[in-house]
Amino acid sequence: MMQTRKLGDSGLEVSAIGLGCMSMTSAYGPAADKGEMIRLIRGAHDLGVTHFDTAEAYGPFANEELVGEALEPIRDRVTIATKFGFDIDPATGQRRGGTNSRPAHVKAVADASLKRLRTDRIDLFYQHRVDPDVPIEDVAGAVKELIAEGKVRHFGLSEAGVRTIRRAHAVLPVTALQSEYSLFYRGPEAELLPALEELGIGFVPFSPLGAGFLTGKIDENTKFDSTDFRNMVPRFSPEARKANMVLVELVRSVAERKGATPAQVALAWLLAQKPWIVPIPGTTKVHRLEENLGAVNVALNADDLRQIEESASGLKLEGARLPEAMLKMTGR
């Protein structure tokens, strides 16, 4: 049975595990079959998932269109999260440059996203990346106006740093922060998680399975499709994969003891960190979806968590989580 969680103090209640939809149209190889993905999204809801994550930049536009079509018949039973903040030409779908969170642009993106999503409101509207040229107070102000108009229900930030989060939250309560977090990347633990706890903001980790690495299905010999972004990621170089297998072995040993899979243990570990954490693993395969959602039934007790902590703290993982140019856009 799927459990639910509240994202911080906002009152937004969603399934304990959501579904990240990005990989269905981009980033991890060629786009999957649209009909199959519509069935997978609706099947996820049948299994208890109520939180679906997309963005105008995925595709661009194709992912929102897919999610909108898939969820239209069950719109009132689900939460849709999407994102604004890149400079994308609405006519061609081509990226014109870097970030763009000017208030007029944010409002135009909201209207375009509503059409693609076939809905009259966006449940959670994230700034995809912090825009160094637009004060975050102005961005929060624009979303506040969208909330007043009924077009948006909740405000989120993605890959933002603590200072930006505090400034935004002072203008408009931030419901959720989305960033990468898993046993493979534990950066948020130092500053981010304590700040979110203090402010009552929920946390939505993407890549909770380390972009697939923690499933145990990837090793140094794995070949990725030429369009797969992992080809550019330092921690996915063959050398780094070989060095980092020690972490996979640790997760696998816990999984064997718990009668679970490595993916389920990785997700259960995240769920055990804070009650307001809602991971959004992505997949294009029904059996992986079912496996991921089974993580809510894997209970890691204090001894399990201590063993993972003691073993993991001694590991030195190789390679950065993103290419340098992309890392420069995070944590601002």
Examine the residue annotation and report whether 181 is marked as an active-site residue of this protein: no
Main-chain phi, psi angles of 290, to 5 degrees? -60, -40
Contact 249, 266 (CB under 8 A): no
Distance of CA 132 to the CA centre of its chain: 22
CB 40 within 8 A of CB 71: no
Nearest to 280 by CA among 68, 57, 103, 124: 124
Going by C-alpha positions, the residue among 53, 51, 52 that lies closest to residue 16 is 51
> What are the two backbone dihedrals, phi and then psi, of residue 202, each rounded to the nearest 5 degrees?
-75, 160
Give the torsion sign (CA, 314, 316, 320, 321): negative
Whole-angstrom distance, CA of residue 195 vs CA of residue 175: 13
What span, in angstroms and rounded, lies between the C-alpha atoms of 58 and 64?
8
192 CB-side CA count, 13 A: 25
Q: State the first-to-last Cα distance of the chain, in angstroms, to the nearest integer.
A: 38
Cis amide bond preceding 262, omega within 30: no
Rg (CA), the chain: 19
Angle at 288 between CA 316 and CA 59, to 5 degrees: 85
Distance CA 311, CA 305 (A): 10
- Are 62 and 31 spatial neighbours (Cβ–Cβ below 8 Å)? yes
Candidate list 28, 58, 126, 185, residue with the active-site label:
58
The set of catalytic residues is 58
